[in-house]
Amino acid sequence: MIERRGWRARALRLWLPLGFFLLTGLAPFYWMVVTSLKPNAELYNRRIMPLIVYHPTLKHYIDLLTETNFLTWTYNTTLVAVVSTAISLVFGIMLAYPLARMRFAGAGLIAAAVAATYLVPQPFLFIPLADIINNLGLSDTLTSVILTYPTMLIPFCAWLLIGYFKTVPRELEEAARIDGASRWQTMARVVLPLCIPGFISAGIFAFTLSQNEFLYALIFLNKTDVRTVPVGAIAELIRGDVFYWGQLMAAALLGSLPVAFLYSFFVEHYVAGLTAGSVKA
């Protein structure tokens, strides 16, 4: 893009708005950091400046890691998120590709049905689902959530991918067909590679949504060793009406910073993939 040079223009277009978004987005995290490092006595003290930690302590982190099952919950959360995302992406592709690029009888109906699936909210589904999960003997297992999370992720991935699939020009596909490729080959060798940014996008969201999910985990996962971070933290870092704020905030940070760091690598990938895919003849 041809832009006007000059640092003032750049500041206005980039640094100022970026600064604004960073500030508003990350301010709560500053609070979380500060709270996780403050000893309790300081936390409740209204007379001192709340944004500074006078006697930082790592006690909350240590307690979180040694006295609770936080590491187990983190492992569970990651495992569930990875598997659910994988299932959802694969199933999402299997649904999205035909809906985006094929014409066949019943396409509209299926598209509507998939959309309808997504409209069904979790607080409505969880009782019948609890029944099914229990009858399959899966309660208190990670399988229960691995099976139920894709129900909210697949329609989402499918729809997102339909959008990305649609942007691949027909000419590429037709060229491949003329060259004798089967539909499968066209899909696998021509269209899908161009949509990798879409997969990364969908994957990031599916992963994040899995990590964040609370209601099903609350219902299905009751034993501490199978809990995920959101449920474990709320169940065990809150006793009665007393919140263990320091540990809760430590859990929030430990549960999100590493993931964000990981994402930073994918973001690079996805930009590279995009520029490769967007230049058309």
DSSP-assigned beta bridge partners for residue 242:
239
Minimum CB distance to other proteins smaller for 54 or for 124:
124
Shortest CB 238 distance to other proteins, Å = 5
Identify which of 275, 151, 149, 165 has the alpha carbon closest to the alpha carbon of residue 217: 149
CB nearer other proteins, residue 83 or residue 95: 95
Considering the complex, state which of residue 56 and residue 125 has its C-beta at the smaller distance from other proteins.
125
Write b or e for each residue in 78-111: b if 16 or more Cβ atoms lie within 10 A of its Cβ, otherwise e. bebbebbbebbbebbbebbbbbbbeeeeeeeeeb
For the bound state, the minimum distance from the C-beta of residue 193 to other proteins, rounded and expressed in Å, comes to 14
Task: State how far the Cα of 49 lies from the Cα of 61, in Å rounded to an integer.
Answer: 22
User: How does DSSP classify residue 12?
Assistant: I
Q: Which of 54, 71, 155, 141 is nearest to 113 (CA)?
A: 155
CB 89, min distance to other proteins, A: 11
Instruction: Give yes or no for a contact between 76 and 231, defined as CB atoms under 8 angstroms apart.
Output: no
CB of 18 to other proteins, least distance (A): 5
Q: Closest separation between CB of residue 85 and other proteins, Å?
A: 14
Residue 56 or 163: the one with the smaller Cβ distance to other proteins is 163
| Residue (15 or 58) nearer to other proteins, CB | 15
